[in-house]
Amino acid sequence: MQFNIPQFIDVEDRIVGPLTFKQLLYLGSAGVLIFFIWYFFKLWVFVIVGIPIGTIAIALAFLKINGRPFIVFLSSFFSYLRKPKMYVWRKDDQG
């Protein structure tokens, strides 16, 4: 008896073109935020605030570090910064 085994279960579904839902959410929310900054503030505020927002959104949507999404890297980085660091060295007397 043969059974069909699902393959590629770790690949996310594409919603719009080549973009997954998460990518679309990151880029869409950043686009709306950048639009409001463009509409309500002056050009210099838009340049100073909008470019970093766009860069972070693009990194969240497309960048992978060691095969892991950038959001996982950011959460690991901030958890490392938040946790206390204690290094204990014990000399082994059996050697």
Query: Residue 30 has what pLDDT?
Result: 97
* Residue 26: inside a domain: yes
- Domain span at 44: 14-82
Total count of domains within the chain? 1
Give the mean pLDDT of 42-68. 94
Using 50, 70 and 90 to split pLDDT, how confident is the model at 70?
A: very high
Nearest to 22 by CA among 75, 53, 50, 59: 59
Residue 89 belongs to some domain of the structure:
no
- The pLDDT value recorded for residue 93 is 67
pLDDT digits (tens, 9 = 90+) for 71-88: 999 999 999 999 888 877
Task: Give the per-residue pLDDT at 95.
Answer: 54
Whether 57 is in a domain gets the answer: yes
Report CA torsion sign: 72, 73, 78, 83: positive
Is 30 within the bounds of a domain? yes
pTM of the complete model: 0.74
Residue 87 lies inside a defined structural domain of this protein: no
Q: Is the pLDDT of residue 90 over 80?
A: no
CB 72 within 8 A of CB 78: no
